[in-house]
Amino acid sequence: MIIPRFADERGHANHGWLDSYHSFSFADYHDPEHMGWGPLRVINEDRVNPGMGFGSHGHRDMEIISYVLEGALAHKDSMGNGTSILPGDVQRMSAGTGVVHSEFNHSPDKLVHFLQIWVIPDRMGSAPGYEQVHFDDAEKRGRLRLVASPDGAEGSVRIQQDAQLYASLLSDGEEATHRFAPGRLGYIHVVRGTVSIAGATYAAGDAVKLVDESTVAIRGGVGGGEVLLFDLPRLQ
């Protein structure tokens, strides 16, 4: 079964310095029909104005993935990490027993556009951790490139959950296929451009939930498209 979730159905909050769209319930946006999908709990599409950002704040017991599309996102945390997250980078922060961090756009004239993704870990109370890996466009072109996994396979960042995250850049008419093991859930988020899934066209911000699908084929639309695909366990 393929269940669409269109961009204009998402929650939306514009704080002036931050324009954010929520695929699942988050902060003041609450929708009991969209509380997450398996262990996937948050996909926020954020645009942060120049010279603005998220001040120091805490998290615990959550796998947090940042995927930057435009600009440079400065990150600092209580583990001693201080980095810039750039387009092509995948950052993973395991909050575990607790971590404090900040995210800031230091540019004087360019916004930061990024996806913040939260995955519920398969165990609580682990030590906090941090990892950042860059994936060139060529690695994602015409295929589903593994970028996050429980075992760090293929150079992906390691997350504490039986879940895989793939990224793909597809030219017009180009197709990538993924096979799911029995009982798994899927979720595809269109990052940019357009793609076709099972004959239907989806644009940036759209998504589909997949239930009991053994395979899925994603075809690049006119002008091409970029997608993230999640292969997820069902939560008990």
Find the CATH number of the domain harbouring 59.
Answer: 2.60.120.10
Query: Count of domains in the chain?
Result: 1
Mean pLDDT by 10 residues, the chain (236 residues): 96 96 96 96 97 87 96 90 93 92 91 97 94 96 98 97 98 97 97 97 98 97 97 90
Strand pairing class (157-158; 145-149): parallel
Total residue length of the chain: 236
Cα-based distances in Å from 121 to 63, 93, 113, 158, 172: 6, 11, 25, 11, 36
Nearest to 117 by CA among 182, 226, 41, 53: 41
Q: What pTM does this model have?
A: 0.96
Give yes or no for a contact between 73 and 48, defined as CB atoms under 8 angstroms apart. yes
pLDDT of residue 236: 67
Range of the domain at 180: 2-232
pLDDT of residue 79: 87
pLDDT of residue 142: 97
pLDDT of residue 54: 87
